[in-house]
Amino acid sequence: MYRGASRYAGPDTACLIMAEKDWKECIKNLKGVVLDMCGVLYDSGEGGGTPIPGSVEAVKRIKASDLQLRFCTNETQATREKFVAKLQRMGFDISVSEVFSPAPATVAILKERNLRPHLLVHDDVLPEFDDVEKTDPNCVVVADAADKFSYQNLNDAFRVLIQLEKPVLFSLGRGRYYKETDGLKLDVGVYMKALEYACDVEAEVVGKPAPMFFQSALTDMGIQPQQALMIGDDLVNDVGGAQNFGMRGLQVRTGKYRPSDEKHPTVTADGYVNDLAEAVDIILKHRGQ
């Protein structure tokens, strides 16, 4: 029952195009798991958010198994340190070195290419850019700035870009929306698209679904894409991004999941599970643990 209309079919194709009912066949070959955070571990919202039931325990169980575990987030509303501290307060067994987030990755690129950014980012992530030269900007970095996405601030970024001979725009992720406790909210991708259209430029995406981003987590674990499973709530960026890189991708029915995701025209997850706890149950059961 192959449902994908157009999808990655590279090495390990037989496994990648497996039907939902037998994604479990591949579990035995797994060496590592990559988890998205918001919408998988917790739901964001007022007061920092709340853990999704069973997820604290699920992380503990993966760590107690023979699988490696890393976290890949497009979270850019806080520094990595503060973000990890928040999850620790929720009870998660997690450390900064296990978390891959776009801001530190962007800082590395800016330094390597001698770029001076105009930042359209959330105030709470600004400290990540403390060491970056920002006067006389020659590129724009856009991240999920939430309330700071005003017409005025977007226009300021636009004016920096339009006066550059060759506009350079970095987008920290390209998500469409995410779920907060009071509803769905527009994500950075929407504002990236607005600036792309205004300036006729294509943004360089740092974070999921960029292959480089998955690569950095896998390199850290020392494993190959076909040995890794991504679990996320964002069908296109988590699941599709991982699949394009040669990993397998599971979608959880938590966070921003919508039933229509399961009949998406271009991305079909290798499997769908109700939540992280169920995913971990199935994985550990099939590994005999």
Give the tokens for residue 221: 């674990």
> In 3D, which of 166, 229, 158, 235 has the Cα closest to residue 192?
158
* Residue 66 near residue 286 (C-beta atoms within 8 A): no
Report the DSSP pairing between strands 169-172 and 139-142: parallel
Nearer residue to another protein within complex by CB, 34 or 210? 210
Distance CA 245, CA 72 (A): 14
Nearer residue to another protein within complex by CB, 258 or 287? 258
Nearer residue to another protein within complex by CB, 199 or 273? 199
* Options 66, 130, 147, 165; binder of another protein; rule CB under 8 A: 147
Contact between 154 and another protein (CB under 8 A)? yes
The minimum distance between CB 190 and another protein, in angstroms, equals 4
Nearer residue to another protein within complex by CB, 61 or 176? 176
* Residue 94 near residue 116 (C-beta atoms within 8 A): no
**Please, which of residues 182-241 interact with another protein by CB under 8 A?**
183-187, 189-191, 193-200
| Segment interacting with another protein, rule: CB under 8 A, options 20-28, 84-92, 131-139, 148-156 | 148-156
* Options 50, 150, 274, 289; binder of another protein; rule CB under 8 A: 150
Nearer residue to another protein within complex by CB, 12 or 144? 144
Distance CA 95, CA 176 (A): 28
The residue type of 72 is: C
Nearer residue to another protein within complex by CB, 219 or 260? 260
* Options 152, 165, 219, 263; binder of another protein; rule CB under 8 A: 152
| Segment interacting with another protein, rule: CB under 8 A, options 19-27, 45-53, 151-159, 211-219 | 151-159
Determine if the peptide bond prior to 209 is cis (ω within 30°). Answer: yes
Side-chain-facing half-sphere of 286: CA atoms under 13 Å? 16
Could you give the dihedral angle defined by the CA atoms of residues 164, 165, 170 and 175, in that order, rounded to the nearest 10 degrees? 90
* Residue 202 near residue 193 (C-beta atoms within 8 A): no
Binding site for another protein (CB under 8 A): 146-152, 154-155, 158-159, 162, 176-177, 183-187, 189-191, 193-200
